[in-house]
Structure 1
C-alpha cells in the first residue's frame, strides 16, 4: 500500500466537515486541536505530528463509521503502519499506542474515566476496556509510553466545540508544513 503526505492532506480535507465519532467537533478540528495542544505544550515536532494524525487510520479505513464500530477497532495500528515509512517511529509509535494509553489511564487513574466524553466511554468497551496488571507493566515498558500518554490526554482535551481559530485551508497548510519539517528530519 502506497501512502503519501498528499493522501493525508486529502483525507483531512474530506474530513473537514464530518463530525468526529459522535463528538461535537469535526475530524479536522479535532486533529488541529490535538496538534495545537501539543505545540502549546512544547512537544517535539514528531509528537505534534502524531497528535495531529493519531486518527488517520480511522479516516483511511472507515471514515464515516463511529469508533464503537468493530471495523475501526484497529485504527491505531493501521495509522501507525501508514505513518512509519513517512515519518519514523517517533510519530508512528505514539499513534499505535494511543488507544492502549486510554485503557491504561482508565485502569491506573480512577479520576481519568470521569473526564472522558460519553462517546469515549462507549468506545472503551469496544477497545478492550481495562488492562490487567501484566498489560499495564508491558505498556509501561514501551519505548514511546510517555509520548502515548501525553497524546492520549491531548486527544481527550481536543474535543472543544468552537475552538478552531483558523480556516480549513490554513489548518491544512499548517499540517503540510509540519509534515515537511518532520520528514526532513527523518532524511537527515
Structure 2
C-alpha cells in the first residue's frame, strides 16, 4: 500500500502543475483547496481524502490539454474512482466516482448552483449528461455516499480560488501523503 501512496505523490509531483482552460488553479492547488475545505468542514479523513483526490482521473488520463475544450469527456470520475477503489475504502472511492453526477444533481435541484460553475465545469456538464431528470435526481439522492458526493462537489467549485496562496508543492504533497496513510 505504501508504494501506491508513493505513486499518488509522484503523480501530483509530476502532473500537479497542469491547468485546465476555464479553471484558475493548477490540479495540485485545486486538490489542496478542496482538501482544506473538507477539513474545515470537520468531515471524516476518508471524505477529506476524497476531496483531495476527486480529480486524480484527470492526472491518470493520457489526454493532453483540456479535453472539454475539444468536446471530449475523459470520464475522470470513473478512472479516478476505479483507481482509488484498489487502494482505499468506499468512503474514499465512491464520492469520487459520484462527484460528476452530484454536479448534475445540484444543477438540476439548486438554481443558484449553476451560477457557481466555472467555465470548464459548464463545458463538461453538457458532455457529462447535463441536468438530471426528476427520476434520476430521486435515484441519485438515495444512493449510499450521495450526500458525501454532494459535499465534495460543492468543495470542487469553491476550490478554484486563483487568489489563494498555497504552501510549497513539497509541503502540499506531504500533507496529502500523510492523510492517505491515515486512510489505509
SS in 2 for 1:17: coil
Relative to structure 1, is the Cα distance of residues 67 and 144 closer, same or farther in structure 2, using a 3 angstrom cutoff? farther
How many residues align structurally?
Answer: 181
Aligned to 2:172: 171
C-alpha RMSD of matched pairs (Å):
1.6
Superposition deviation, residue 102 in structure 1: 0.3
Instruction: With the length of structure 2 as denominator, give the TM-score of the two structures.
Output: 0.92
Aligned to 2:27: 27
- Whether the aligned pair in 2 keeps the contact of 1:73 and 1:127 (CA below 8 Å) is no
Instruction: With the length of structure 1 as denominator, give the TM-score of the two structures.
Output: 0.90
Per-residue CA shift, 1:22-77, capped at 9, x if unaligned?
A: 31100000000000100011111000000000011111013633251555431101
- Whether the aligned pair in 1 keeps the contact of 2:61 and 2:74 (CA below 8 Å) is no
Superposition deviation, residue 20 in structure 1: 3.6
Superposition deviation, residue 10 in structure 1: 1.3
Aligned to 2:125: 124
Q: Which runs of 5+ in 2 are unaligned?
A: none
Runs of 4+ in 1 over 3 A off after TM superposition: 62-65, 69-73
SS in 1 for 2:160: coil
Does residue 1:53 correspond to 2:23, yes or no?
A: no
Q: Which runs of 5+ in 1 are unaligned?
A: 184-188
Aligned to 2:151: 150
Cα distance in 1 for partners of 2:27, 2:118 equals 16
